[in-house]
Structure 1
Amino acid sequence: LKEHFYSFKLSELSRVRSKYTLTLMKLWNANAIGKLTNTTIKGSLNEWESWFLGSDKDGKQRTMSAGVFKRDVLKKAEMELQSLYPDVQLFLTTKKQGVKVVGYELDIVRLKTHLRL
């Protein structure tokens, strides 16, 4: 996130309830070309954990099992983001080497809304 710029309006941030959703919004905004457009966020399991969980006070990266991370962090953020932006669809792909999870790819697609005249 340090390498990319992002910004939000206060009205957007006031609706967010989860720190994981806020992190997902930051990732979306930082990786999108323009304001919250279609984008793909790719990363290794370690990168995703770093983005969402950070590190403890000793500087050691926090971790959790891939299944628990997906269920408790990614799915929770995905559900809240979809409730905040009904015109958005998220497609989460788990990247594996054999049976071991090595990363995730998240496609965020903003559906076209009809313009009222």
Structure 2
Amino acid sequence: MKTKIIALAAVIATTSFVSAPVAANDQLAQSICSYVAADSRNNLRKVLTDNRIRLSAVYSGVVCDGLPLVRHAIKHNATETAEFMIKQLPGSVVAASGDAEWAQSNGFGTSPVINAIKERSAS
């Protein structure tokens, strides 16, 4: 347990000092990416809870297939998980992400996630 916390602290510290996002190369990040792609909201919630992490603490540091988590979810049609993540993030982060515009310009304009993004951005 202490090893996981130390590893996570190192990832968070690294993302605080380096502007480039951390690639999904550690086990925790890989788990997060796979749960997002599989639209497994409950497993995502469980891995975050088990590791005592808030999504907002690691969101900017986890990149899946070169995409931020919400875009990764949109790409894999993981609506339930995307909506969960959007609710967990501050509205200002969601508004500044450009995820809705990215979805529109990349052929995902009909995704129900866009509405969740717009609603969260407004609050």
- TM-score, normalised to structure 1, is 0.28
Task: Write 1 or 2 for the structure with the bigger share of helix.
Answer: 2
- TM-score, normalised to structure 2, is 0.27
Task: Write 1 or 2 for the structure with the bigger share of strand.
Answer: 1
Structure scoring higher RCO (CA < 8 A, sep ≥ 6) equals 1
